[in-house]
Structure 1
Amino acid sequence: MNEYIGDDDQTNEEEDIPFPKRRKYRRVKRKVPEPEYSSPSFAFPGVVKLVLTEDAQRAVECVCGEDVTSENPWKYIKKEAVVQNIELNESSEFFKIKNEVLTFPNPSILIIYLPDESEDEDQYYFCLSIEAEERANNIISQVKTERNEKLNNTTLKTSKPWRAQGSAPEISDMMYKANRPLIKVEIETSYPVKPAPSHFKVRPVEKAKDGYIEILSLRSTYTNVIRRKIDAVAQATPFVTATSSQTDYRYPKNETTQYQYTYSLPKETKEYIRNLKYFAQNTMNIFDDSIYVNGSIDFFTSDYKLLVKDEVGPEKPQEFHLVEFSSFYQHSIEKGKVISAVSWHPMWTGIVAISYADKALGLYINGKSEVDEVHRATFEITPVHLWSIDDHLMPKLLLEIHRDVSSLSFCPYDENLLVGGCVNGQIILWDITNKLKQVEEDEILTADQYAYRIRMHSMMSWMKNTSNRRFVGATVVSQLQYSPISAITAVTWISPFKEIDKTGKIRRISEDEKRTSLQFSTTSLDGTIQFWDLRGKPPTGALAAHKKYRHIKSRPAALMTDVSPFKVFHRVLKPIFKVNVFAPNTTRHLPLMVVGKQESATTYVQKHPSDPNRKFDLNERIYFQAELKDNRDLENEYLLGSAEGDFFIITWEGYDYTSNEIVNKETATINNFVKFHDGPLVSVKRCPSYDDVVLTVGGKIFALWLLEFIGKPIIWRKCSCRYTHGNWTANRHSAFRMSRSDGYVEQWNFTVRSDRCQYNILRSGKWTLGSHAHPLPLEKQILGLCDYTSSFRLFLTDNTVQQDKKELSHLYQLLCAEAERKRGIVRWNEQWNVKNPELSVSHRAKSVTGEEKKQDEKAVQVIEEAINVKQRDRINADAQWREREVERMNTLLLTKRGLDPSLLEVQQLPLIKVKEESTRKQEKLKDALKSAPKIYEDTVAMMFADAVQKKPQSPVDPYKGGEFVINKSVYFNSYTRIAEKYEKFVSDNTYQYTFNWLKMAKAGRERRILLDGYNQRCNHKRRIIRERVLREKELTKPPTISKQESIQAIE
């Protein structure tokens, strides 16, 4: 039932009911996470805020993301870069701070990058005053310290107290606790308390828990060396005695002699007077004769001056000096190479072309080459360098090649042509027209052009620069199919007034034709001489048909300036004629090394003569031009030297008609074939003043020849080491210079002395491959040496020594007189042989028998050496392989264990010494044991001399033969004699053997049955079967009754 309650009652009731109090909540402010990096404020005086584009950032080297980042937003930039950007760029962003930058005293400016992702552009702060820079540096150092502290707090953690997670009771139950109370015990002892005796034991380290490992040194015993000899010093003073003797100088060396008379008169005694009278009576006649002779003849004068008819003698030879002043070497390209060919420019001073290769033709190499030829020819080809004296560090031009070059030669008539011969037989031609000028001329650029070029290169850093003017490609490369098949050894130019046609005929170009030829010849190791023509017509198909465009009538002139006219011969150049050189009486090609051809008479005059008396400087390049003279006859002969040490002269005639061959061939006629040198010929040089005087160098011998005297050299000398090059001196044609394999340079002059060289100078640590003199006149003559380090060393020589015509004629007269003397000896031998034919026949027979014996001995030695070499090579190969395997296993074990081989060697030295001493002692002990019987016999003989009797000598074994090594040739000769005898007997008494196939098959079958065990088993089995069959037959057979039994049964 609902009741109405008034307001008063309601209020009273509410007051009586207690309501719960309202809780007060405390508001907690949220912590906003701090950013990883908050940029400090740099808004203070002296700091300017700028917006920079990407180009401006690259100009001052402050690119966002590369040079400055959000972690390191500050950097110093160069003041010069900012000033240069203001001057070069009219719309530069730095114009706003131009005055502040120019007045800023420091060379570098501090800039601060403002990393703000809300902005699209990159903003930077520039500190343009010293106070602002110091204040900014303080802020930067404070930021760095805060960052380091924050990093340390994140990496280093502090230990915190343990928080129980409910496992505390389980852990306490597992722990050992003392639950019972301790027992108290009273102990009475006597005072003082004596400690118990301690017993120490050895406790090894590995059994202790807290032990450690002790690394001890090697426990090795060292043997002491007992000093058995004591040196004692004693001073001995000899007795001083004064002696004097008078010497009678029969042949005095001085013209005048000063005498000091210290003679004292003897006392006149009776004995003295008696001796004087005796001397006067017996020797007065002899004394008178001696006085007369001394008065007539003066024995103390020099007769050498009186024997001289002409008082004007030869001048004193001047000293030969070689002063090194420079060298051409580039380590990055020429490392591990040798110089293979050198050619000075004949018209430009100070220019030389040098080619490099792994091997040179005049170099001696022992053993087999382990170089990968394919890899080297593909990736390690060194270009031909064109050096100049005014730049010793970098070659002027790098001439590109596809194979190593073995010979080089500048054209003596065209200053822009250089021909090279490759090791594969191809010919390379370089046309260097305007190439050297383009490299040496300075390019003039304005500041804007230079800055634009730098900017363009910076934006194209990904692009490879292929427009290097130093690299010059090959203009012409010959066709491989028709080129020689071996290395080119020499390139020789033919006179421009003569030419060789396809038939091999040499003809003179007439003056009416108003042209000159451009031909050269090459010699190769394949035994061929080939002739090439650069003025001939290119073969058909040499030029590919270019596509013609109607709107382009002709190519621009600028594109045709550097195009060589010889480009039409590229890849299609062929020889016009070939001469084959065979060994005498064989069809084997002779490997041709050098050629000595008569050079054309060419003189060089200066192109732009300014002062005729001016001295030519080394660093100043002077240009010459050739003046050609046609004053020599046509010659179709070559002086050649082979790799086998042969010197000979060849000629050819040519054909009167043209064959259908692409390249006509002819076999050369050989004259004066002489095997004289003991090694490959490296030089064959004609004398520049006398064409019939030839210098040949090969092996350890050099020789001078006269072409009139064929068959033998006129003068020759032999050295203890090999010669590598030889040539006549440029300013003195009576002398010649030689380079040796031990680094010495010799100069010979037979007009001064002929027993040994005139000068001998050491100029290298090892071999030198040649000496090449500068061909043009300079203030001082330059001599280039090819060193073993692949550097071309330049030396200055005295240019004061000029050619003496008397000296040159004296050399020629000396050679002619020597040739005449040798002709006289030959004539006298021929006359003697005619007068005494019997002696000559017997002498020839003796020489023939001696030669046969020598040949037999040589044959035996060759066979034995071949057998020994094979066995030695096999043994050496196996031993080397085992050594390599042992070394490899040792290195693997050492690397796996992390040991240092050098340290192990040092530690093993004491052990090695101990082992050596022990082995030495054992060897001594063995020697003593071997000699024990002898020692015993000696001691017995010494102590019991009477009891010892000499043993009779054992009789000689009659069957014991001589030493096989001594009688080797005798055994071999007897063997050959017996073999020939019985071979003849066998051939005369032939034996015919009758053969029957059936008998042989039957005998073989019987042997097979006897030897085969299977057949034996089968025979045994057949015998058992046969017996069983016979037994069964007997059982089944009816019983037989005899005749008597049958009669009895009937009865």
Structure 2
Amino acid sequence: MDEQEDLPFGEEEDVMEPMMDEQMINTEYPSMSQDQNATAVLEPLPEGYIPVAERPPIRKPYDVDDQGKPVPVHGVISLFLTATTVDLLKIKDLSKESVFVEVPKDQILHDIQFRGAISDFHPVKSRIMESDYDPLLVKYNDDDIYGDGNNYEIAVSQDAAQLWLSIMDEQYQREHDLEIEQLHAAAEKKKPRTRREIKVRPWISLGSETEIEESIVQNRRELIRVVIQRPRKEFNQSIKLLDKDAHELWNSSQMECRPFKDPNFELRRLEQDTGVQAVAAQCDVAVQAGGGKPKPASTQYVPRDLPLERKAELLRSPLLASFLNRVKHGVEMALIQNEVVNIFEDDLSALSDDQDLGGGGGAGSGNRKESLISETQSFTHLTYSKNKMVSAIHWLPHVKGAVAVAVTENQSHNERVATAGRPSNAYILLWNFKDPIHPEMVLQAPNEVFCFAFSPSNPNIICGGCSNGQVVLWDTSADHDPFGSGGGGG
């Protein structure tokens, strides 16, 4: 090293150029097209060959930390090499096809000695000097997989270098095997299709023929002969057809089967079990509970079940976990819709009949006010209840002329599902008939309240249910009585 310090830096650079040209590793392998032209006969795959698709994935040339971020393996250093360093080491020809190059350790130490602190290898000088092999393996990091902005990696341990080379060899071997598999698949398609021989298998009885025989109706007695007679004079009688109004037909005496209310629907019947046998009764049995509704039931096969080992294997299967993760969002969306939509709501009950409103042809008197309920008073607040809908309403059990109203946002089903899970303030307003403008009390909830109720033992305690499944409890006993002791009329 002392003799090299006397040489100018420019002359030392000329000495480094031929050394780097000899140390470059050529990782370009011959393609399968050359092998295919060289061999006219395709060799069969070896016994026990595992296809490339069924092999385990190749190990990555890096490790992953607890946060899932790639980090260099043990014995690898991530560096940023400037264009000057790349030109001095003659490694600018590295690419994705040829990502490795061997650089002598003395050459790197010589660069650190002459360039000093400005050398890109100066921060890792101690680790380079402690490396257990020579020359060192340098790798091109084009994708910046670590996210640190560095463009090269250097393996300072022989184990890390062997790991890089083994991964590269495995990738090449799999590419080579995949091309061979494609050639075999193409050769199989060109083969003439052989006609499959149909083998006659013995018939195995599973009990279906017994059920078919039992379902066939067979005569157990002789057929009964029935003779029907009709007077001859009733043959070839003239028929006169005419049209009648349905209203007249149903209200006339010509209607043979008039509609009537069948009392059997409201008649509650008690089911009684009775047995008859030719010999004397052996024992008397009685039960207290009534039998359920009789219904037909039948089965053909004994249900098939899997052994416990197979069930445990299926529960640990990654395919089952992938399927559950794929359908989880759809199932959650369906459950949310079931909670939001009221499937028992009767939409027809809100419709009014034209005849009841005094429409044409009805029994009404024609006065619309007779069938409509007129509004006497309304309660609204610009801050809490304007442009909102009422989700629940209850009378105050201990005060007259006062109601409690829960208001929610006027949203459609899709909008409500889209905003599900987001916290939003909701209110329950306590109104007094004496003041329709200002509510007597405002109860705040962390989410929209769709139902609430007063405690039957203590009316000052109110319990409400939110749309997200949360239960809210209010205690108004500590507040002053906003309604007074007497309450209002109404």
- Which TM-score band applies after superposition, normalised by the shorter structure? under 0.3
Q: TM-score, normalised by structure 1?
A: 0.11
With normalisation by structure 2, the TM-score equals: 0.23
Higher strand share: 1
Larger radius of gyration: 1
